[in-house]
Structure formats: structure tokens, C-alpha cells
Amino acid sequence: MPLTQHSTKGITGEPLKATSRVGAFMEGVSEGDSPLQLRDIHPKHALLLGPLIMFKNIRDNKSMLSNFIQKDIRVRYRNSLLGYIWTVLQPLLLSGVYYFLFTILAGNPEELYPLWVLIGVITWGLFAKSLNGSITSLSSNAGMIKQIYFPREIFSFTTVGSNVVITALSLAVVIPFIFYYELNPGWQIIYIPISFLLIVMMAWGVGMMFAPLNAVHGDVAHLFQFVTKAGFFLSPVMWTISMVPSSRMDLIDYLLLNPMVVPLEMMRSGIDGRPLAIDLNWICYSVSFACISLFIGMIVFIRYERWGVKYL
């Protein structure tokens, strides 16, 4: 007997009312009420609404983000004897190698060169790891994406957030250098958070642009791993703008086309207190590049991430 049959009569002779959930639902439909509908988890939005949607998703899932970032940091140093000490030890050891090569063997006369190299290595590490992690944020979380749905930009934001925390901890290694060289950063210390912000905007923005494509073609991640390794030497990581010979000042404009030059120099200036010897136009160029990268990256990711995950 159908559950929603209304013609059935009870003992008293009165028609039985639909008591099941299905019957109640059908009864509501017959009275003109709108039936319940499933929410589309992939609604189509206007193209320029991508940034607003992404910021809303991040705000609504901030507790999940915090848990993911903490988990990502714990996983990195799991089963490690030294644990979080590696956040300081790794850039220090790497900088020691470069100091030996470029100062002791090559005879670099700059007194602050070890500090400059250390800051450059830490700062570039933030950019490279955040960029590569954002690009692979979909492909490396394929298992979770197939099991449950939540805003997928959380994966890339988790990668960037954990790298920011680790980089901030790594910068503690420069404190002994500040006392050793008797540096006085002064008001230039404000350059440090500005540098962090520019790096995060560029790395996250460019990473989100290519994350959907990397979910389809894994070659994208390999390409950007090469780009970040080559950029390590093309960017002022092992050198600074002030170290460019006066006879080759014509190269300055070409070097400054790299938008990472300004954040790297800002980070050094914020720690050692020296003036930022970069023209305001190039600072505006780097800031504009970061803002545009983030804006376009959000639009592309919101538009195409559901297309990319079909290939996971």
C-alpha cells in the first residue's frame, strides 16, 4: 500500500492523514508549497566576484584553517629528533655554506654579507615553498577532495599560512647577528610585515592561477620548481642591489623587473636599518604586481578549480 495514499479510511471512517515524512512532503507539494531542493555546491558566479567569494569562504572556515595549519606544521617535523629547531637550524646551515663559498673562497669584503645571505635564504624560502605548495594544493590533496567537499582554496591557504609561521620562527636566527653587528633597525622595521605581505600575495596568487591546471597536467609543478630554483640566483638572495658594480648600473632596471627584488630588499632593510635604495616607481610596480597576481589568481581558482579536480 502506498505510504501517501489519502483514500484510506481509519476505524472512525475519517480519512487517514499522511503520517510519514514522504507523505508529509507530498502533502506540502499538493498544497502549493515549494519542495526542498539540494544546494548546488558549485554555483556559477560572476567572474569578478571570485575574490569576495574566496574571502568569505576563508572567513567562514577560519577554525578549520587554524587546525589545518597547525597539523601541517606538526607533520613537517614529525619523527624528527630536533623538531622545531630545524626552522632555525636549516637556514643557518644553508647560509653557512653560502658564506663559505662567497665570502671565504671568493673574498667578498662586505661585513654584513653573512646576514644578508641569511635573510635572503629565509625570505626566498617563504616565496618558493608557498608558490610550489599552492600550485600542488589540489593534486596533493586528491584523497580528501574525493571524500568530502569544502572550499578547496583552504588547501593553498594552509600551505601559505604554515610557511609564514615557519618563516617567522626562522627569522629568530638573525637576532644574534643584530647584537653582534650592533644594528639599529629603527622605523625601517615596518618593512618586515610589508615584505611578508607582498611575498604571500605573489606566491598565493600565482599558485592559485596554476593549481587547477596542475591538477590536469603535473608538468606545471615541475616547471615552477625549476623557476624557483633559477630565481634563487637571479633574485637578490646571494647579492644585493648595493653590490651591483657602478660600471653595470645599466642592469638595475632589468633586475628590478623581477617583482621579488623589492620584498627581498625590504626584508634586509627592515632588519639592518639601512635605507631602501630603490626608486618609488619600482616599489609601486612590485606592489601592483602582487595585488594583480592575487586578484587574478582568486578569479581563476574560483572559476576553474571544479574543472581541475575532475582529473584527480
pLDDT one-digit tens code per residue, 182-209: 898 889 999 999 999 999 999 999 999 9
Rg, C-alpha atoms of the chain: 27
222/203 Cα distance (integer angstroms): 16
Q: Quote the cell numbers at residue 176.
A: 644574534
Q: Quote the cell numbers at residue 190.
A: 615596518
List alpha helices for 171-218, DSSP H: 175-180, 191-216
Q: From its phi and psi, is residue 255 left (phi > 0), alpha (psi between -120 and 50) or beta?
A: alpha
Q: Where are the domains of the chain?
A: 1-37, 45-311
Predicted pLDDT of residue 81:
66
43/187 Cα distance (integer angstroms): 47
50-60 helix and 280-308 helix, angle to the nearest 10 degrees: 80
280/271 Cα distance (integer angstroms): 20
Give the residue-averaged pLDDT of 279-284: 94
Please count the helices (runs of H) and the strands (runs of E) in the chain: 13, 0
113-135 helix and 86-99 helix, angle to the nearest 10 degrees: 120
DSSP string over 236-290: TTSS-GGGS-GGGGGGHHHHTTSTTHHHHHHHHHHHH-----S-HHHHHHHHHHH
- What residues contact 302, with CB distance under 8 A and at least 6 apart? 45, 49, 50, 53, 54, 153
266/279 Cα distance (integer angstroms): 12
276/270 Cα distance (integer angstroms): 9
Specify the pTM: 0.81
Minimal CA–CA distance to 236: which of 207, 205, 206, 267? 267
261-272 helix and 113-135 helix, angle to the nearest 10 degrees: 140
68/159 Cα distance (integer angstroms): 9
- Signed CA dihedral, 190, 194, 196, 197: sign only: positive
SS3 label, residue 298: helix
Write the CA distances from 174 to 59, 117, 254, 270, integer angstroms: 33, 11, 30, 12
Predicted pLDDT of residue 250:
78
Write the CA distances from 228 to 94, 99, 105, integer angstroms: 17, 21, 26
Phi then psi dihedrals of residue 9, to 5 deg = -110, 145
203/160 Cα distance (integer angstroms): 8
pLDDT band at 117 (very low <50, low <70, confident <90, very high): confident
**Per-residue pLDDT tens digits for 285-295:** 999 999 999 99
**Per-residue pLDDT tens digits for 207-242:** 999 999 999 998 999 999 999 999 998 898 888 888
CA geometry: angle 52, 57, 59, nearest 5 deg: 95
**Per-residue pLDDT tens digits for 38-94:** 555 555 666 677 788 888 988 998 899 999 998 888 887 777 666 667 777 777 777
241/222 Cα distance (integer angstroms): 30
Q: Alpha carbon 8 to chain centroid distance?
A: 63
Q: Is the pLDDT of residue 12 over 70?
A: no
pLDDT band at 268 (very low <50, low <70, confident <90, very high): very high
Report which of residues 106 and 61 the model is more confident about.
61
Cβ atoms of residues 243 and 110 within 8 Å? yes
SS3 label, residue 3: coil
